[in-house]
Amino acid sequence: MVDYTELEEIELQSSTFLKKRLLFWAIRWIIGFSIIGAITYKFPQHYWLWWAGLTLAGLSLGFLVLGGYFLNRKISSVQSKIENLEKLIDEDEIEIIDDL
């Protein structure tokens, strides 16, 4: 039998990592939009900064979420490959015992 604790630990770490990254993303963009608000209040002609900020925030959030999705998908893929390999090993052991 294969011990999956290490793989489960990696999955838990990736989940924690994603939550931390989302928290830092939110803090970063709260600060960023506060700065944009101050600039557009002082210089109304730079209203386009809101659209630039929204675009960058959306792209960075999208990449963050997609990165987490692909990482979790890769972990699940590795886990299923290990399970399939374990089944193949068990089948080979049964065949070897039958041949004896």
Domain boundaries, the chain: 5-99
Give CA angle at 94 (86, 7), nearest 5°.
10
Neighbours of 36 (CB within 10 A): 19
**pLDDT of 1 above 60:** no
**pLDDT of 94 above 90:** no
How far apart, in whole angstroms, are the C-alpha atoms of residue 91 and residue 88?
A: 5
* Local confidence band at 14 (pLDDT 50, 70, 90 cut-offs): confident
Average pLDDT rounded to a whole number, residues 84-95: 74
* Local confidence band at 5 (pLDDT 50, 70, 90 cut-offs): confident
Model pLDDT, residue 86: 81
**pLDDT of 87 above 70:** yes
Query: Where on the phi/psi map is residue 3: left (φ > 0), alpha (ψ -120 to 50), or beta?
Result: beta
Q: Which long-range contacts (CB under 8 A, 24 or more apart) does 30-34 make?
A: 32/57, 33/57
